[in-house]
Amino acid sequence: MQIQHIDSVLEPGLHQIGIVHIGLGAFHRAHQAVYMEQTLALHGGDWMIASANIRSNHKLVEQLEAAQHRYHVVEYADTKTARVREIKSIKTSFFSGSDDGQIGLIAQMTAPETKIVTLTVTEKGYYLSPSSGALLIDHADIQHDLRQPSQPRTALGLILASLKQRREQGIEPFTVLSCDNMPHNGLRSKGAVVALAKEQDTELAQWIEQKVAFPNSMVDRIVPAVTTEDLAMIKADTGINEPTVVKCEQFSQWVVEDNFPTGRPRWESAGVQMVADVSHYEMMKLRMLNGSHSLLAYLGSLAGYQTVAEAMKEADIRTFLEYYMLQEVVPTLANFRYEALATYCQQLLVRFENDSLQHQLKQIAMDGSQKLPQRWLSGLTELQAQSLPASAIELGIASWMTFLCRAQHNQHSINDPLENELFDLVRRYRDVSTDSSIELVTALLQRNDIFPASLCSNQAFIKRLSVLVEALLSGVEAQNLMRASFSIQK
């Protein structure tokens, strides 16, 4: 194993906190924190990070505190080459699931020195309907924050509580920067925060609408969850034996809308693309990379594979993904030249083949109801409007429905905010008649918090999906259906 070591040159005592991050997971530590490490090394400044977990993984906070917030990121090019970075850009951390942690976090967010609040809380952390984008007012967590706004459970409530205090104290608001995989993530963040504020204080809501910046961003780096086996592999490869280590691919991209009224770090010096409009980059990445990942998650699992790289060894799967990207995604990305998208497609296929990451398909399959609308369904409706085929996306939707059936039957959690409701539909409509797949498909498509209304009234579409679901449930190999989907169009 060839290892390149990049040691940190930061002296955290010389720099103060300027950014609060909510969502102290592996992705944040391998992406934003790395860019901030590089930026601080080049330019210095008071832009250290205070990172927080809201209600889970307090152990990680304790581990980082014990390590004085120093940890390593191992960037694998393949099984033979890696780069190890020492990271010190996180100055402190909080667990807001405890009273002291919550008080400390809100105090840090309220502090005048905090200029930016960044987020990686996943799609479900914004409590928005996947299809309509409306705030889920009736959700128990949102109701809690409405009843106890000074003791919030959600990232939205934390932002609102600290912005309220800043307004009352005459402190300029911070900028809210979402780094989650959602289209128009800044606009959606603003919509969620303002909607919650309107339920509490209309004047505060107006102030937020007028004064607080919510720039959009696009993030790209494959960062698998670290398993016990990964820790052993990293120790064998690098000698690093720490519970906070993160592994990822070497590729990394961050595109950010340049809208920071109270200032920002000089991220562009570390390779961040500061642009006027992120939307085209968002859509390209969501539909090509994330859409392909979801296809791998459901179809690859049905084909018997455990990891992305393992599934990519199957020639039919690789061809299927290439077909999906070039034939069903490219027509929906009019702002890019075909040559550029074709190059990006090939780059993604190579990245997926990186067998050092051991990226688990079951990890990608989580929260499917939240991911499908932006990864597949928005593109599907565009293809249908142009009378273009979408056989790969349709097979993907059918594989997700089959995934639900098998998970419910085997009593496996899918870690989805709609898990109970979706499992109830499977129990109710699966195997109740000879047309059970049609009934199940229809019932799932009628979930208008996931699917656009146009799909549940399209009888030909319903029939095609039901045939695919029935085939998958009856044991037809996923590879055969993938091969049929791209050969039909030839």
Per-residue pLDDT tens listing for the chain (490 residues): 899 999 999 999 999 999 999 999 999 999 999 999 999 999 999 999 999 999 887 999 999 999 999 999 999 998 899 999 999 999 999 999 898 999 999 999 999 999 999 999 999 999 999 888 999 999 999 999 999 999 999 999 999 999 999 999 999 999 999 999 999 999 999 999 999 999 999 999 999 999 999 999 999 999 999 999 999 999 999 999 999 999 999 999 999 999 999 999 999 999 999 999 999 999 999 999 999 999 999 999 999 999 999 999 999 999 999 999 999 999 999 999 999 999 999 999 999 999 999 999 999 999 999 999 999 999 999 999 999 999 999 999 999 999 999 999 999 999 999 999 999 999 999 865 555 799 999 999 999 999 999 999 999 999 999 999 999 999 999 889 998 877 655 4
- CATH 1.10.1040.10 positions along the chain are 280-487
Per-residue model confidence (pLDDT) at position 489: 55
Q: Does domain 280-487 have CATH number 1.10.1040.10?
A: yes
Pull the structure tokens for residue 77.
């090019």
Q: What is the pTM of this model?
A: 0.91
- CATH 3.40.50.720 positions along the chain are 2-277
Per-residue model confidence (pLDDT) at position 84: 98
Looking at the domain 2-277, which fold is it? Rossmann fold (3.40.50)
Per-residue model confidence (pLDDT) at position 79: 87
